[in-house]
Amino acid sequence: MANHAFLLSSFFFFLLHFGVEAAKMTVKNNCGISIWPATLTSGPGQPQLSTTGFKLAPGESKSFNVPAPWTGRVWARTRCSNNGRFTCMTGDCGRGLSCNGAGGVPPVTLAEFTIAPDGGQDFYDVSLVDGFNLPVTITIQGGKGPCRSSNCRADVNKVCPAELQVKSGNEVIACKSACLAFNKPEYCCTGEFNDPKKCKPTNYSMIFERQCPEAYSYAYDDKNSTFTCNNRPNYLITFCG
C-alpha cells in the first residue's frame, strides 16, 4: 500500500511540474536541401523532448508536443552525412541524429521558446547571437495577445564578411557572430561589458540587425526581438520561409 501511495504521489508530482498541457510545434523545411532539425530543453528540471533530432527533406514537416512549462530551442543542422559517424557541417550537436541534451555548435540560427503553464504568457524569439546558418520564421497558431510572427527571412550568408564566414569549398554555409569569431568582451557582452548600458551594437552585429531586424543580433538586443502570446498557442517553425 505504501508503494502504491508513493507511485500515485510521484504521478501527481509529474503532472504538477511537467503538466498535462502541451503546445504543438511543427517544423517545416522550405529549403531546397534536406535539413536535420534538433531540439534542446534548457529549463531547470525539465526533461528532454521525445524528439531531439530528425531529418526533413525539402517540403517535409514534422509535428510534436512540448509540455507546459517548457524552455528550449529549435535549430536546423545542414549538410549532414553518416559515414560511420553522423556529423553535420553546421549546427552539429556531436551525438548523432538525436541530440539528447546537447546543443548545436555555433554558428547556428536559433528559435527560442519559454512556454508558460496554465495558458499564461509565452515568450519566443529568433536569435542570431550564436551566428546564422539558415533563415527561419516562427508563426503563431491560435493564442491571444500580440502573437506576432518572429523571423529572420534574409539569407545572411550572402552578406557575411570574410572574417565571419564558414565555407564549404567556395560556398558560404554559415556566418559567425563577432563573439564567436574574435572572443572579445565587447562583442560577447562579457566581463566589464556584461551590462546593457555598456554592451552596445557593433558594426558586425548591425549586419545581422539590418538583415533581420526582428531577431536578436547580440546578447542585449532586446528591442523588437522578444515576442509574446497567451492562451496556449501552437507554433510553426519554418526554415527558409
Tell me if 77 sits within 8 A of 93, measured CB to CB: yes
The pLDDT of residue 225 is: 86
The pLDDT of residue 12 is: 36
Q: What is the pLDDT of residues 134-148, one digit of tens each?
A: 999 999 999 999 999
What average pLDDT score do residues 121-136 get? 97
Per the structure, how many domains does the chain have? 1
0.85 exceeded by pTM: yes
pLDDT interval class at 21 (50, 70, 90): confident
Q: What is the pLDDT of residues 23-76, one digit of tens each?
A: 999 999 999 999 999 999 999 999 999 999 999 999 999 999 999 999 999 999
Q: Is the pLDDT confidence value at 10 over 70?
A: no
Domain that holds residue 67: 22-239
Q: What is the pLDDT of residues 157-182, one digit of tens each?
A: 999 999 999 999 999 999 999 999 99
> Could you tell me if residue 74 is inside a domain?
yes
In the chain, % of residues over pLDDT 90: 88
What's the mean pLDDT when you consider all of the chain?
Answer: 92
> Could you tell me if residue 3 is inside a domain?
no
> Could you tell me if residue 5 is inside a domain?
no
Hunting for cell 568582451 — which residue is that? 185
The pLDDT of residue 187 is: 97
Which parts of the chain fold into alpha helices (H)? 2-18, 178-182, 185-188, 203-211
For residue 7, count CB atoms less than 10 angstroms from its CB and return exposed for 0-12, middle for 13-18, buried for 19 or more.
Answer: exposed
> Could you tell me if residue 146 is inside a domain?
yes
Q: Measure the CA dihedral 236/239/240/241, to 10°.
A: 0
Q: Is the pLDDT confidence value at 217 over 80?
A: yes
> Could you tell me if residue 1 is inside a domain?
no
Looking up residue 172, the CATH number of its domain turns out to be: 2.60.110.10
> Could you tell me if residue 82 is inside a domain?
yes
> Could you tell me if residue 16 is inside a domain?
no
The SS3 assignment for 77 reads strand
pLDDT interval class at 197 (50, 70, 90): very high
Q: Is the pLDDT confidence value at 78 over 50?
A: yes
Q: Is the pLDDT confidence value at 132 over 50?
A: yes
Task: Name the residue with higher pLDDT: 223 or 131.
Answer: 131
The pLDDT of residue 191 is: 97
pLDDT interval class at 230 (50, 70, 90): very high
Separation CA 96–CA 80 (nearest Å): 10
> Could you tell me if residue 13 is inside a domain?
no
Q: Which residues pair with 61 in a beta bridge?
A: 28
What average pLDDT score do residues 208-217 get? 97
